[in-house]
Structure 1
Amino acid sequence: MISKSLKSSIHERTRSLFTPVLGRSCAIHPAVLATFVVSGLMHEVMHFYLGRTWPTWEVMWFFIIHGVCVTIEVEIKKKASKSGWKLHPMISMPLTVGFVMVTGIWLCYAELIHCGADVREIEEYVAFVDYVKHCLRIV
């Protein structure tokens, strides 16, 4: 649902805005970047509400890095497909997952630990278990 909303509200509008200036094939790049920037801002707001601390913009950088990498990947795939070359999914999938995990731990998870969200989450689980134990004793 979120990706459809971002596609219709950000990606398609940005692409149609840049198509007369850059052409249809190059207008995808600012559209992808704009979509990742808006998603990054939305995630910064979620981290702000979750951590109750001012943003460090690390989550935003995560999305900017991934937006730039996606635009580079699009261009590489365009050029590679013209020559008939394609990277096998057994290679591309682990590379993609590894890249997302490394950058996610580096930029996103570290911020959650910094603001103490992991400790609060464990405390909430403990409180929930205590509540369930209390309810089962009453019955």
Structure 2
Amino acid sequence: MVSKALKSAIHEPTRSLFTPILGRRLAIHPAILATFVVSGLMHEVMSFYVGRTWPTWEFTWFFIIHGLYVTIEVEIKKKASKCGWKLHPIISTPLTVGFLMSTAIWLAYAEPIHCLADVREIEEYVALVDYVNHRLRIAPS
């Protein structure tokens, strides 16, 4: 649902805007970047409301880096396919997952830790268990 909303609200209008300037083939790059930037900003807004702390812009940088990565990947795949070369999924999948995991640990997971979301989540689980115990009248162990 979010992907479709971003595609129709950001990607397609940006691509249409840049097509007369860059041509159809290259207009995809600013469209991809704009989509990732908006997604990063929306994650910052969600983090602001959930974590109740000012943005550190780590989510936005995470998405900007991934937007740049995707645009580079699109160009490399286009050029490689013209030469008849294709990277096998056994190689490309671990590379993609490794890149995603390393940047997520570096940028995306830092934000919830800064606002102590992990601590609050554990406290909420404890409160839920206490509530269930109380409703079921189970004596605490």
Q: Taking structure 2 as the reference length, what is the TM-score of the superposition?
A: 0.96
> What is the CA-CA distance between 1:111 and the residue it aligns to?
1.5
The alignment-based identity, stated in percent, is: 81
State how far apart, in whole Å, the 2-side matches of 1:88 and 1:134 are: 55
State how far apart, in whole Å, the 2-side matches of 1:133 and 1:90 are: 48
> What is the CA-CA distance between 1:115 and the residue it aligns to?
1.1
> What is the CA-CA distance between 1:94 and the residue it aligns to?
1.1
> What is the CA-CA distance between 1:22 and the residue it aligns to?
0.3
Q: What is the aligned partner in structure 2 of residue 43 from structure 1? A: 43
> What is the CA-CA distance between 1:8 and the residue it aligns to?
0.6
Quick one: which amino acid aligns to residue 109 of structure 1? Y
Q: What is the aligned partner in structure 2 of residue 87 from structure 1? A: 87
Which residues of structure 2 form unaligned runs of 5+?
none
State how far apart, in whole Å, the 2-side matches of 1:40 and 1:108 are: 10
RMSD of aligned alpha carbons: 0.9
Q: What is the aligned partner in structure 1 of residue 127 from structure 2? A: 127
Whether 1:99 and 2:107 are equivalent positions in the alignment is no
Q: What is the aligned partner in structure 2 of residue 33 from structure 1? A: 33
Quick one: which amino acid aligns to residue 69 of structure 2? C
Deviating above 2 A after TM superposition, structure 1's stretches of 4 or more consecutive aligned residues are none
State how far apart, in whole Å, the 2-side matches of 1:44 and 1:105 are: 16
State how far apart, in whole Å, the 1-side matches of 2:34 and 2:102 are: 23
Which residues of structure 1 form unaligned runs of 5+?
none
1:71-108 Cα distance to aligned partner (Å, 9 max, x none): 00000000000001001111111111111111011101
> What is the CA-CA distance between 1:56 and the residue it aligns to?
0.7
Q: What is the aligned partner in structure 2 of residue 58 from structure 1? A: 58
